[in-house]
Structure 1
Amino acid sequence: MPVIGRRELGLFVAVVLLWGVNWPMMKMALAELNFWVFRSYCIAAGLLWFVAFNLKRGVPLTLPREHWGRMLVCALCNVAAWNILSAAALTMLPSGRAGVLAYTMPLWVVLLSRVFLGEVLTPSRIAAISIGMGGIALLLVDEFQALRGAPVAALMMVASGLLWAVGIVLFKGFPKSIPTTTLMIWSFVLGGWPLFTGLALFGHGPWLPVAASAWAGLLFNVLVVFGFCWFAWNELVRALPAQITGISSLAVPIVGFASGMLLLGERPRPFDYVALLAIVVAVILVLRPATKPTSQAAG
């Protein structure tokens, strides 16, 4: 197993806790704000944070020309698609359930790595994908059967996790010589325009929240999530093996489930617990270290 340094461990714990708590925090903000308004605030805040950081530290803002194509696809997946689909779906789903559906991302990474990186699908990974998809199917069936279910929202949340995984696989291809903050600036520039276009076309309602809970959700996102958390997550993606970043994403929906019950009084249904257990088992199967063959003897 790879050794995690203190810095990476600190980023790991912070991302798990802060992103997990953010699911009910987003729910609070979206109770008053149109999701186009909310996400536009977030993207603008993230862009300002990283530009200010680079200017203060003298970090280059430019991106080499040969990386523009990869950056455009990454930005559209990680910034545009993720932020639009997840926020729209969250307005129709409990925060805990939304987190479970979105953070199936490691399962999608396994499939995408087979397509884009040529990695072999081992029996344990095939079993993990089957179990994880079974958990997703439980939630989707339950949404179709519930009187107030939102099957379209559930599918949107799964799609956001899939596109997020596409962006992660591509993001790993950037050379370490390009600072993470520079990559984040261009991610928000290239991925932010669909959100600002949506704001101009579909944004409505109040531009600022009224209730203290909605203010807390908005400020938590613009000050913490789209500054520190996005930077920390992408630092982990670039610095650590996929199994470590996968474990971090696995823990997020568990924290989201618990914080949704504590902050919003959500009461998960039995299928939620079964699906969560299935996804946990699936990702553990995907991320467990492979045993090395012992057929070659020394000497």
Structure 2
Amino acid sequence: MTGATPGRALLLVPLLGLLWGFNWPAVRISLTEIAPWTLRAAGMSFAGLVLVAVALARGVSLSVPRAHWGRLVVAGLLSIAAFNVLLAFAQLMAPTSRAAILTFTMPVWATLLARLVLGESFDRRRLAGLGFGLAGLACLGLPLIRAGALSPGLVLALIASVSWALGTIVTKRWPVAAPALTIAAWQLLIGGGAAAIGMLAFEGLPVPKALSPRVAAALAFHILGAQALAYFLWFVVIARLPAGIASLGTLMVPAVGVLGSVLLLGERPTPSDWLGLALVMAASGTIMLPARRKPAPVDGA
């Protein structure tokens, strides 16, 4: 896999969307028999160890400058630990399909925070993305508010998306001088350690027990497929493809997550949910995908 050509790497983009998208129902199924702190501690820790192994196999240094450990920990707690833990509780309190849609307003919050914290200007694409994102939130939220059915889980999903965006801003404002693979590995291990502390504080040491076949399969997919394999494939993709093309896999995630919730969890999104999904995906695509560059003028033209 390490020698994947750009053509083969392109085939991995939809695979990533499927792995991360179906992770949403997989996590919800796992939570029926596994406590949330325990699930997140296991998933993030294992994924981090896999990336450590990948880094060692590739000869990538795992060292981080001592002065940069603080910013690495803060970004990891925000964009990995808090993000994953909050979403576990969000899925216990709200339909997985709606939580997935709301969570992927992440680029919208990152754009707003970049303006407030980093002073980045709004161009037309970002303004359009913000408009799509706000319209998507309105489609999802207003019907629920009117019906008095706004779940605390959906609030947690929104907080999780803002937490991820804050972690992104921290990374932009105070970058870590280390390879991307190294940063991801350490941040996953930091997230796993934080979740393990929460597990010990609120759930205690997990007692080994037999899981039902459905939950065992979902847990295996979550840890091995959506965490370890997907993160490994992500670094294969971004090493061989432009960022805009690599981001297409991310844009697939909420759609696949909603469809997976319909197929595996029996959820039935409302028409306003589907419209909100379309608008949120439009917002993410508008913000994340780079604008086309104008061709350079030809001399003498």
Post-superposition CA distance 1:177-209 (Å, at most 9, x none)? x44442233213333332111101112686546
Matched residue of 2:93: which SS?
Answer: coil
Q: Does 1:167 align with 2:171?
A: no
State whether residues 184 and 231 of structure 1, in contact with CA within 8 Å, keep that contact through their aligned partners in structure 2: no
State the TM-score, normalized to the length of structure 1. Answer: 0.83
* Equivalent residue number for residue 87 of structure 1: 88
* Equivalent residue number for residue 230 of structure 1: 231
How far residue 19 of structure 1 moved from its aligned partner, in angstroms, is 0.5
**Could you tell me how far apart the structure 2 residues matched to 1:168 and 1:236 are?**
20
Listed as ranges, the gaps of 5+ residues in structure 2 are none
Report matched runs for 1:233-272 at 5 Å: 233=234, 243-272=244-273
Of stretches 230-239 and 214-223 in structure 1, the one that deviates more from structure 2 is 230-239
How far residue 120 of structure 1 moved from its aligned partner, in angstroms, is 2.2
How far residue 89 of structure 1 moved from its aligned partner, in angstroms, is 0.3
- For the structure 1 residues 159 and 36, does the alpha-carbon distance in structure 2 shift closer, same or farther, using more than 3 Å as the test? same
How far residue 14 of structure 1 moved from its aligned partner, in angstroms, is 2.2
How far residue 284 of structure 1 moved from its aligned partner, in angstroms, is 3.6
Letter in 1 for 2:262: M
State whether residues 247 and 287 of structure 1, in contact with CA within 8 Å, keep that contact through their aligned partners in structure 2: no
Of stretches 264-273 and 150-159 in structure 1, the one that deviates more from structure 2 is 150-159
- For the structure 1 residues 247 and 126, does the alpha-carbon distance in structure 2 shift closer, same or farther, using more than 3 Å as the test? same
How much identity, in percent, do the aligned residues show? Answer: 33
State whether residues 94 and 152 of structure 2, in contact with CA within 8 Å, keep that contact through their aligned partners in structure 1: no
Letter in 2 for 1:132: G
Report matched runs for 1:16-31 at 5 Å: 16-31=17-32
Letter in 2 for 1:157: A
State the TM-score, normalized to the length of structure 2. Answer: 0.83
- For the structure 1 residues 268 and 209, does the alpha-carbon distance in structure 2 shift closer, same or farther, using more than 3 Å as the test? farther
State whether residues 75 and 187 of structure 1, in contact with CA within 8 Å, keep that contact through their aligned partners in structure 2: yes
Post-superposition CA distance 1:26-85 (Å, at most 9, x none)? 111011111111111112212332333445555433222243233112211222111111
Report matched runs for 1:46-195 at 5 Å: 46-56=47-57, 58-115=59-116, 117-146=118-147, 149-171=149-171, 173-175=175-177, 178-195=178-195
**Could you tell me how far apart the structure 2 residues matched to 1:166 and 1:12 are?**
26
* RMSD of aligned residue pairs (Cα, Å): 3.1
* Equivalent residue number for residue 220 of structure 1: 221
Of stretches 69-78 and 26-35 in structure 1, the one that deviates more from structure 2 is 69-78
**Could you tell me how far apart the structure 2 residues matched to 1:244 and 1:141 are?**
33
Listed as ranges, the gaps of 5+ residues in structure 1 are none
**Could you tell me how far apart the structure 2 residues matched to 1:64 and 1:220 are?**
34
* Equivalent residue number for residue 14 of structure 1: 15
- For the structure 1 residues 237 and 12, does the alpha-carbon distance in structure 2 shift closer, same or farther, using more than 3 Å as the test? same
* Equivalent residue number for residue 36 of structure 2: 35
Matched residue of 2:268: which SS?
Answer: coil
Matched residue of 1:90: which SS?
Answer: helix
Matched residue of 1:60: which SS?
Answer: coil
